[in-house]
């Protein structure tokens, strides 16, 4: 089976549509969302509609639950707070109910999905350094856990390795090795590459592919500006950071 893992769409319909087109060309069997469908971008409703249409399942991200009052936004920066409030005002009842009912964890094909970290996913912690890996692997038993949240694609192993993404060749999963894989961000990459990012997991070939896709940043940025959202949320799309 081939699975596409998409995360951190953040209301960026232009990026999501291009990723969906790319997925359609790769004989993927199922699509899973790793959270943060909304927030930052100007088309949250449209992105929710697409995720409901294409995804086998989705987990909650902090911006998803923030938009429906299920998580504290006290630690959000001012741009994120402004986007959460705007998003909440622009979603209807059914869209809010969908976000509110998203689970914190999902399981498929001997893999787990959480938005933040396996340890206490409801706290929305970031996995950024190898010195935090030991505790993370103790909180799930599957060979692979797919995460998002940091908007930076990267692979961590239970041998305390940090493997940078390589879009030119797949990551071959080794027997007996366990992995935490950040699948990257569709709608707001933060690794210096502004292209939309997602991952494909081939469970038969035991391989993970990191995909980058060009999209219409101008339209996404202008929609953010037209909505009256903070300028930083538009301009950062061009930098990929």
Domain, as residue range, for 169: 2-239
Angle, helices 13-24/217-226, rounded to nearest 10 degrees? 150
| Whether 33 contacts 7, CB under 8 Å | yes
CA distance 15 to 69: 26
163 in Cβ contact with 22 (< 8 Å): no
Distance of CA 108 to the CA centre of its chain: 17
With CA atoms as reference, report the closest residue to 173 among 204, 149, 152: 204
Per-residue confidence (pLDDT) for residue 127, from 0 to 100:
92
**Per-residue pLDDT tens digits of the chain, which is 241 residues long:** 999 999 999 999 999 999 999 999 999 999 999 999 999 999 999 999 999 999 999 999 999 999 999 999 999 999 999 999 999 999 999 999 999 999 999 999 999 999 999 999 999 999 988 877 889 999 999 999 999 999 999 999 999 999 998 999 999 999 999 999 999 999 999 999 999 999 999 999 999 999 999 999 999 999 999 999 999 999 999 999 9
What is the number of domains present in the chain? 1
Q: What's the pLDDT score for residue 130?
A: 80
b/e map of 231-240 (b: 16 or more CB within 10 Å)? Answer: eebbebbeeb
Return the pLDDT at 100. 99
CATH number of domain containing 189 = 3.60.21.10
pLDDT score of 129:
84
pTM of the model: 0.97
pLDDT in tens, 44-79: 999 999 999 999 999 999 999 999 999 999 999 999
């Amino acid at each position: 089976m081939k699975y596409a893992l998409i995360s951190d769409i953040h209301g960026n319909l232009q990026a999501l549509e291009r990723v969906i087109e790319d997925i359609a060309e790769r004989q993927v069997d199922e699509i899973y969302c790793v959270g943060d469908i909304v927030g930052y971008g100007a088309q949250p409703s449209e992105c929710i509609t697409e995720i409901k249409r294409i995804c086998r399942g989705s987990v909650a991200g902090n911006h998803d639950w923030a938009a429906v009052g299920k998580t504290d936004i006290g630690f959000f920066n001012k741009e994120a707070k402004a986007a959460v409030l705007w998003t909440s005002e622009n979603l209807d009842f059914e869209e809010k109910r969908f976000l509110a009912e998203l689970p914190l964890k999902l399981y498929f094909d001997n893999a787990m999905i959480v938005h933040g970290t396996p340890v206490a996913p409801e706290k929305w912690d970031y996995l950024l350094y190898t010195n935090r890996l030991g505790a993370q692997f103790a909180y799930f038993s599957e060979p692979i856990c797919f995460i998002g949240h940091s908007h930076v694609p990267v692979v961590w192993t239970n041998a305390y390795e940090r493997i940078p993404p390589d879009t030119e060749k797949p990551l071959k999963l080794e027997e007996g090795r366990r992995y935490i894989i950040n699948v990257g961000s569709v709608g707001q990459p933060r690794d210096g590459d502004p292209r939309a990012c997602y991952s494909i997991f081939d469970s038969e070939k035991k391989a993970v592919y990191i995909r980058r896709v060009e999209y219409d940043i101008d339209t996404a940025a202008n929609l953010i500006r037209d909505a009256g959202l903070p300028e930083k949320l538009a301009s950062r799309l061009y930098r990929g950071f």
